[in-house]
Amino acid sequence: MRRHEIFLFYLWVSQYFVKAVTNGAESYSTQSFELVHHSSYPHFVMFYAPWCGHCKRMQPLWDKYADDKVYSKGIKVAKVDCTLNTPLCASEGIKAYPTLLLFVNQERYTFRGNRNIGEFKQFVEKNVKTTVEAPSETFENQLEEDNSDVEAEQLFFRNFKTKINEHYTFVDFYAPWCSHCIALQPVWNQLATRFKHNKIVKIAKVDCTTEKVICKEQNIQAYPSLHLYKDGVLIKQYNKERTLKSLVSFIEETIKFDAEVDEKTPHLLKKSVSELSLHEKYKELVMNEYTLVFHMKSGFVIVFFYIPSLIDGLEIFVEFSKELSGVVPGIVNCEENKELCTKLSVRTYPKIIFFENLNDYFPYFGDRTKVGLHAFVKSFKNKNSKDSKEEL
């Protein structure tokens, strides 16, 4: 009995020891991944999504490869969950799951071979000319050296348009005397610290007491006003709880990266509709400021305003447009028609607007269904029909 107990004890110890030394590939976050680009040490990274079938089958192999000190010698094997780090995966151009990238001295190489440990080793040896000793410090230790707080970038008239034209920029329009603005300031700086290593998200602020021109152009009517811009275009206004957690969630949800993969054709993506494909597919509906004004002069117009990354409900609008009578339908890309969308105060996307004439237009706030849209249009037709009878 005593020998049996001793055997079980050693078995437990050995299992614990194995688990301690075989942890699999290290998971990187957006913050820790930033160090990959500044390290001379090679990193082999798997970008994946937990729901992806190919990724699920790949996971144990990747962890085994990371733990194999012979085959993975001279490199750091890691992984990134793109559902938790969507901005990072978007900035790295990840368009399929799993994607395996090797980072070596500011260069990156995509693995396209058979997924087995032997081929991983050959791929690394081919692209890593010289190996270096593994860094003694962990990524967490390195991050501690760069965890100082930062302040949101102050924007001015001279650089505002340039700055908001760089990917995603979240701007706090404030006044120094505003109590709500004062309360938000430390949280806003925490948000700036949270995204300081992010390449596609910037946190900024504008003092409306000194930058009155900017705030007038952006139609700021209350303090603080929190606007999220994408490539120079205002895409959303934030009106919810002003906590760090809520603000971070808002950013990540807004720029959520859509990279769903067809299991049968993993090399293909469910792509967002590009402007080129929109012009090809819906050529007869595409409008700009001149064509919109032209059609408004002759009758009713209903327009779907969008940016290529936010087109929810477009297919329904197109089907609805085929059933219209007496109303001209159209679609407008606000990235290509910024001045028009600014004039019409289109700040969130997508937005549907019904135009009675050049001066009277009404946004649609109902469900994006054909039934809802038809009822919306019918209400204006009936109204104008009634007005015409009263004039007679």
Concatenating the DSSP letter of every residue in 19-55 gives HHH---SEEP-HHHHGGGGG-SS-EEEEEE-TT-HHH
318 pLDDT higher than 50:
yes
pLDDT for 391: 43
Q: Which region, left, alpha or beta, applies to residue 313 given φ > 0 means left and ψ of -120 to 50 means alpha?
A: left
pLDDT for 260: 30
The whole-angstrom distance between residue 317's C-alpha and the CA centroid of its chain comes to: 24
Residues near 126 by beta carbon (within 8 Å), at least 6 away in sequence: none
Strands (E), the chain: 26-27, 43-48, 76-81, 99-104, 107-110, 153-154, 168-174, 201-207, 225-230, 233-238, 261-262, 265-269, 300-306, 327-333, 351-355, 361-364
Interval 97-101 mean pLDDT: 90
Domain 286-385 adopts which CATH fold? Glutaredoxin (3.40.30)
Question: What is the rounded distance in angstroms from the CA atom of residue 96 to the CA atom of residue 240?
Answer: 33
Question: What is the rounded distance in angstroms from the CA atom of residue 301 to the CA atom of residue 329?
Answer: 6
For the purposes of burial, counting CB atoms within 10 Å of the CB of 368, is it exposed (0-12), middle (13-18) or buried (19 or more)? middle
Closest CA to 94 of 29, 56, 54, 48: 48
Strands (E), 175-271: 201-207, 225-230, 233-238, 261-262, 265-269
- Answer whether 153-263 and 286-385 agree in fold: yes
Model confidence at 280, pLDDT cuts 50, 70, 90, reads low
DSSP letter, residue 1: -
Model confidence at 302, pLDDT cuts 50, 70, 90, reads very high
210 pLDDT higher than 70:
yes
pTM above 0.75?
no
Do residues 260 and 270 make contact, with C-beta atoms less than 8 angstroms apart? yes
Q: Where are the domains of the chain?
A: 26-130, 153-263, 286-385
CATH 3.40.30.10 applies to domain 153-263: yes
Interval 325-347 mean pLDDT: 87
| pLDDT tens track for 61-79 | 998 888 876 665 678 888 9
Calculate the alpha carbon distances from 70 to 15, 118, 119, 349 in Å: 21, 11, 14, 52
Report the mean per-residue pLDDT for the chain: 76
pLDDT for 385: 57
Radius of gyration of the chain (CA): 27
| pLDDT tens track for 232-263 | 777 778 888 888 888 988 887 776 532 232 23
Interval 195-220 mean pLDDT: 86
Most confident of 12-26, 143-157, 203-217, 276-290: 203-217
Do residues 154 and 204 make contact, with C-beta atoms less than 8 angstroms apart? yes
Domain 26-130 adopts which CATH fold? Glutaredoxin (3.40.30)
Q: Is the dihedral of CA 143, 149, 155, 156 positive or negative?
A: negative
DSSP letter, residue 271: P
